[in-house]
Structure 1
Amino acid sequence: MTDGSEDLWVFGYGSLMWRPGFPFAERRHAHLFGYHRALCVLSHVHRGTPDNPGLVLGLDRGGRCHGVAFRVLKEEARSTVHYLREREQATSVYLERHLPVRLDDGRAVTALGYVADRKHEQYAGTRVFEEVLSLVRQGKGISGANPDYVRSTHEHLLGMGVVDPLMERIVAALDQEA
């Protein structure tokens, strides 16, 4: 979890990029190899309910993911991990992992990250576009409406110079309805 110091690195690929919710000393663009960002998790809490699930991002196997790495001072590491476990593990759909990431300045660090658990009942896998759009449209949970989550993530990815064709297509479809 460190860069040689005792500070904690955290990798964000979805809402953590734009709403980390914890104090950090440094924020860097970062790449994770071996996983990609995917709308592959049925949300039963934050962006949906068990009866009307939304669809949120998870790290799924294969490819690479451009995200954000946050350096948390060692004094804040314990409380940050506690916060992240409460936020990301509400239904245990993610596996907590220490992941090798490459920062935009060339440093290699190990970061705490959350990977989609393919064995969990909320793992949605790959779905056809119409089903993805339907789940995003219907989802609303304690953290808000699923379309807002997708739009915010899409906007932040564009701000980082990352084009995600699926997110772009979903936002375009949502905008046509507005």
Structure 2
Amino acid sequence: MLTRELILNGYVKEIFAKSDGSTPLLSDEEIDASCRASLADAPPGDIWLFGYGSLIWNPTIHFAEKRIGKVAGYHRRFCLWTHLGRGCPECPGLLLGLEHGGSCGGVVFRIPAAQADHECRIVWHREMVSGSYIPRWVDVQTDDGPVRAIAFIINRDHVRYAGRLSDERVAETLANAEGPLGNCADYLINTADHLEELGILDAPLQHLRTEVQRLCAAKN
């Protein structure tokens, strides 16, 4: 599993550096500049980060508070090919991204302002190695009131953007893809399970989990 220490030690970048070169990588300077640019637009006070996938169950950052929240105008979907972390060139995997339309339930993490630069840099060096996402400030509704948070929206211009795939192809991919950071089935199941535990309804994801579990069981 990806850890805070691995990110700080440059492990994510190291994995991408071993690729065949088909995925363009951002330099450390470009990643840091993107982080600074987003933080420059932050509202006063602490920083909020919206998690909708593995950030929910493996945030790898230090935070002061977390809340259940919902973002309008975006939905969660498997739309990013990965040939490295949870896949390989011969059997690429899929990762979640935020696509336009609908709404998305997830978790928002509050990062104290004094720690924001360091903690957000960790997030950026986890999520922005290849520029496959676009960091954007979004409004998140929580039971304790709305917050303005950073969310990572899928970059539709990225070479690994998968577009809208059939449910069958997504399930088949997730049931078979595996890489140095683990397999896609666990990524899906962990996300679906944690959303369920938090009381966040995502029927398509739950249906996908059932189908992937069936496919995985059929292989054994």
Q: TM-score surpassing 0.5?
A: yes
Q: Which residue of 2 aligns with 1:150?
A: 188
From 84, 103, 111, give the equivalent of 1:72.
111
Corresponding position: 1:14 with 2:53: yes
Query: Computing the radius of gyration over CA atoms, which structure comes out larger, 1 or 2?
Result: 2
Partners of 1:49 and 1:90 lie apart in 2 by 17
More strand as a share of residues = 1
| Deviation of 1:132 (Å) | 0.5
Deviations 1:29-64 (Å, cap 9, x if unpaired)?
Answer: 011111111111112332213442111110100111
| Deviation of 1:159 (Å) | 0.9
Partners of 2:75 and 2:197 lie apart in 1 by 18
% identical aligned pairs: 36
Flag as ranges the 4+ runs of structure 1 deviating above 3 A: 1-5
Partners of 1:50 and 1:108 lie apart in 2 by 42
Partners of 1:50 and 1:86 lie apart in 2 by 22
Partners of 1:9 and 1:52 lie apart in 2 by 35
User: What one-letter code is carried by the residue in structure 2 that aligns with 1:37?
Assistant: R
| Deviation of 1:76 (Å) | 1.4
Which TM-score applies when normalising by structure 2?
0.75
Question: Which region of structure 1 is more displaced relative to structure 2, 61-70 or 163-172?
Answer: 163-172
Gaps of 5+ in 1: none
User: CA contact under 8 A between 2:75 and 2:99: conserved in structure 1?
Assistant: yes
User: What one-letter code is carried by the residue in structure 1 that aligns with 2:164?
Assistant: T
Partners of 1:99 and 1:45 lie apart in 2 by 29
Q: Which residue of 1 aligns with 2:170?
A: 132
Partners of 2:65 and 2:179 lie apart in 1 by 30
Corresponding position: 1:168 with 2:216: no
> RMSD between aligned alpha carbons?
1.8
SS at match of 2:76: strand
SS at match of 2:199: coil
User: What one-letter code is carried by the residue in structure 2 that aligns with 1:20?
Assistant: P
User: What one-letter code is carried by the residue in structure 2 that aligns with 1:77?
Assistant: A
| Deviation of 1:4 (Å) | 6.4
1:4-153 aligned at under 5 Å gives the runs 5-105=44-144, 107-153=145-191
Higher relative contact order, chain-length normalized (CA < 8 Å, sep 6+): 1
Which TM-score applies when normalising by structure 1?
0.91
User: CA contact under 8 A between 1:27 and 1:71: conserved in structure 2?
Assistant: yes
User: CA contact under 8 A between 1:3 and 1:109: conserved in structure 2?
Assistant: no
